[in-house]
Amino acid sequence: MARKLRRVPKDKATGLPKKYLSGAKNRAAKAREIKRTAEAYKAGEFIDIKAVSASRAKQGGTKKKTTKRRNKKGSKRKG
């Protein structure tokens, strides 16, 4: 008997699993890139893995980090 797998929540606009698009700066662009790569793979066409990797890295990324607060010049350190 085959194992029954749980259904994953999908994005309504694209039909892709939400997890694939989480954290993307531009969800639509990331979805287009994933679908285009999937179609090329299924058709047996050449896939430029380096370009795909760069595109996905560019899509993700973290938001700008805040800098650490610095001590005021006149304050004394506890020691």
Residues 6 or more apart whose CB falls under 8 angstroms from that of 6 comprise none
The answer to the question of residue 35 being in a domain is: yes
Closest CA to 33 of 47, 19, 45: 47
The answer to the question of residue 38 being in a domain is: yes
Highest mean pLDDT: which range of 6-10, 23-27, 73-77: 6-10
Strand partners, 10: 17
Task: Work out the pLDDT band at 15, boundaries 50, 70, 90.
Answer: very high
Residue 43's region, left for phi above 0, alpha for psi from -120 to 50, else beta, is alpha
The pLDDT score that the predictor gives to residue 49 is: 92
The answer to the question of residue 12 being in a domain is: no
- The percentage of the chain sitting over the pLDDT mark of 70, rounded to a whole number, equals 81
Averaged pLDDT for residues 38-63:
86
The answer to the question of residue 65 being in a domain is: no
With 80 as the cut, is the pLDDT of residue 68 above it?
Answer: no
Joined tokens for residue 79: 């020691």
Averaged pLDDT for residues 45-54:
91
The answer to the question of residue 5 being in a domain is: no
